Amino acid sequence: MAKKVMIIGAGGVGQVVAHKCAQVPEVFGEILLSSRTKAKCDRIAARIQEKYNRKIQTAALDADKPKNTIKLIKKFKPDIVINVALPYQDLPIMEACLATKTHYLDTANYEPKDVAKFEYKWQWAYQDKFREAGIMAVLGCGFDPGVTNIFIAYMKKHYFKKMKYIDIVDCNAGDHGKAFATNFNPEINIREITQKGRYYENGEWKEIDPLSVHKPIDYPEVGPRESYLLFHEELESLVKNFPEIERIRFWMTFSENYLTHLRVLQNVGLTRIDPIVFQGKKIVPLEFLKALLPEPASLGENYKGKTVIGVQIEGEGQNNQIERRFIYNVCDHAESYKETGTQAVAYTTGVPAMIGAMMVLTGVWQGKGVFNVEEFDPDPFMEKLNQYGLPWHETTF
Ligand code: NDP
């Protein structure tokens, strides 16, 4: 029986989630798209009406306060809330889901506004409350985190007795034609990149200066690209859920142009997240910078090129042999734009969020409590990736 989904956040990712849910009326019978600015929801709803002849509901919502979200949930009565607003809203939205006993799903872990910290501890702390309420919170169900975790669970299930060394590799070989722009929310993106890098090896976390470790990685369909070691939130849950891992790292590509702009912005203080006083008013430089930069949702139109995101794993195969496997997806910016009006970074995040919600609503993924996606059976999810626009490929390396 078709269910009701409430989406929070009408940015680039929210636009993709709304489109993809609209494509599957047999699961998502009714859709409510809510966000801080209702006009953005209405614009997306009009596009969906025109493209799929489906009416979706829209609402203004400030999700910083649980009481606002509770009110809207009580009115619409969704079976699941997909949170694709910003990481700052994760905890208030989880509170609202608890209060109304509604399933929850997001794509990025909670961050406090005043320190750029990527940790699951705040959301994992809800484990008992969600279990007692008999509902599920599915954390990090975008591409990375999300599909990358599921790729690893799939590899473990089908090929590896022991996964020893894992590299998650994320390449955006696209060109949006702008001098400088970020592919998802600029504030969240810049906070992530300007942090110290971190990786896990032999039972401990090793820290490096931001962007100080890099090397060329050869990406399928794209070729070699300089890739930088960063901390990324899925490393934390993967190490917990697969304690056999000896080393896990995350690599992401950046162009020289991007890094030069970032360096200048940092040097002049525009990436700071502590408030400064400007003309008698307190402002946060990074929030000001965000207001100047293009919105990620607006980048799609002339975006060319591809993203390639995957996982390379080396370890002990099921017959004790040395096993080396590479699993990845390639996504084209222009094709993503044609289908959903946004670029591939939003597309690769929004499609898995829709599929995760589908897994919960159809009872394929079940449980009570707070889960990271690698804890579920990967196979049905992997099958849906092929069906809904993110086909994957396997090879050795
Ligand atoms: P955008 O900035 O484009 O969109 C965020 C949306 O959330 C905006 O529409 C914004 O409204 C809305 N919003 C912000 N604050 C509130 C609030 N208090 N209440 C209600 N709505 C609010 O970001 P993206 O779409 O690029 O990213 C969305 C999420 O996806 C982020 O959390 C990001 O970290 C995550 N992400 C995850 C990835 C993954 O692979 N796992 C990859 C990329 C992104 P307004 O327009 O009015 O400001």
Top pLDDT among 85 and 191 is at 85
Is the C-beta atom of 13 inside 6 A of ligand 1?
yes
Question: Tokens representing 252?
Answer: 């992401």
The per-residue pLDDT for 300 is 86
What confidence score (pLDDT) does residue 297 get? Answer: 77
pLDDT for the residue 189: 87
**Pairwise CA distance, residues 352 & 314, whole Å:** 25
The residue ranges of DSSP E strands in the chain, in sequence order, are 3-8, 28-35, 57-60, 80-83, 103-106, 136-139, 160-172, 197-201, 204-208, 214-219, 223-230, 247-253, 276-278, 281-283, 306-317, 322-332, 369-372, 392-395
Q: How sure is the predictor about 184, in pLDDT bands with cuts at 50, 70 and 90? A: confident
Pocket flag, ligand 1, residue 108 (CB < 6 Å):
yes
Instruction: Name which residue sits closest to atom 4 of ligand 1, judged by CA.
Output: 11
For ligand 1, mutation pick of 8, 13, 40, 303 (most atoms within 8 Å of CB): 13
In angstroms, what CA-CA distances link 99 with 69, 110, 139?
10, 19, 18
- In tens, the pLDDT along 21-80 reads 999 999 999 999 999 999 999 999 999 999 999 999 999 999 999 999 999 999 999 999
CA dihedral over 41, 46, 51, 54, signed as positive or negative = positive
d(CA 81, CA 338): 27
Do 313 and 153 contact (CB within 8 A), yes or no?
A: no
Parallel, antiparallel or unpaired: strands 369-372 and 136-139? parallel
Q: What is the 3-state secondary structure (H, E, C) of 253-289?
A: ECCHHHHHHHHHHHHCCCCCCCCEEECCEEECHHHHH
Can you tell me the distance from the alpha carbon of 167 to that of 220, in angstroms, rounded to the nearest whole number? 15
pTM for the predicted model, two decimal places:
0.96
What per-residue confidence (pLDDT) applies to 345? 94
Q: Are the beta carbons of 82 and 358 closer than 8 angstroms?
A: no
Angle at 66 between CA 60 and CA 71, to 5 degrees: 55
Report which protein residue has its CA nearest ligand 1's atom 11: 36
pLDDT at 117: 77
**Residue identifier of the C-alpha nearest atom 41 of ligand 1:** 142
pLDDT tens-digit readout, 193-214? 888 999 999 999 999 999 999 9
What domains lie within the chain, and their CATH numbers?
A: 3-142+346-393 (3.40.50.720), 147-341 (3.30.360.10)
Give 244-275 pLDDT, tens digit per residue: 999 999 999 999 999 999 999 999 999 999 99
- The ligand 1 atom at the shortest distance from the C-alpha of residue 183 is 26
- Identify the pLDDT of residue 129: 98
Average pLDDT over residues 212-241: 97
**Residue 361 C-alpha to ligand 1 middle, in angstroms?**
23
Tell me, in angstroms, the distance from the centre of ligand 1 to residue 379's CA. Answer: 28
Dihedral over Cα of 22, 61, 47, 187: its sign: negative
Residue 279 scores a pLDDT above 90: yes
Amino acid identity for residue 396 in this structure? T
Instruction: Examine the pLDDT at 188 and tell me if it is beyond 90.
Output: no
- The pLDDT, as a whole number, for residue 191 is 84
**pLDDT (average), residues 82-104:** 97
Per-residue pLDDT tens for 95-154? 999 999 999 999 999 988 877 778 999 999 999 999 999 999 999 999 999 999 999 999
Q: How far apart are CA 365 and CA 362, in angstroms?
A: 8
pLDDT of residue 186: 84
Q: pLDDT tier at 1 (50, 70, 90 boundaries)?
A: confident
Edge-to-edge order in the sheet of strand 136-139: 57-60, 28-35, 3-8, 80-83, 103-106, 136-139, 369-372
Alpha carbon of 212 to ligand 1 centroid (Å) = 28
H-run or E-run covering 20: helix 12-22
Distance CA 297, CA 13 (A): 8
Model pLDDT, residue 68: 98
Q: How confident is the model at residue 378 (pLDDT cuts 50, 70, 90)?
A: very high
DSSP string over 121-151: HHHHTTHHHHHHHT-EEEE--BTTTBHHHHH
pLDDT tens digits for range 323-355: 999 999 999 999 999 999 999 999 999 999 999
Best of 42, 230, 343, 349 for a ligand 1 pocket test (most atoms within 8 Å of beta carbon): 349
Residue 166 has φ and ψ, to the nearest 5°, of: -125, 130
Instruction: Determine the longest span between alpha carbons in the chain, in angstroms.
Output: 68
Is-cis flag, bond preceding 145, omega within 30? yes
The distance from CA 25 to its chain's CA centroid, rounded to whole angstroms, is 23
Q: Would you call 322 helix, strand, or coil by DSSP?
A: strand
- Closest alpha carbon to 355 in 85, 127, 28: 28
Ligand 1 centroid distance, CA of 93 (Å):
13
Predicted confidence band of residue 393 (pLDDT cuts 50, 70, 90)? very high
- In ligand 1, the atom with minimum distance to the C-alpha of 349 is 40
pLDDT in tens, 286-329: 999 999 999 887 888 889 999 999 999 999 999 999 999 999 99
pLDDT recorded at residue 183? 85
Any ligand 1 atom below 6 A from CB of 61: yes
* Cβ(100)–Cβ(70) below 8 Å: yes
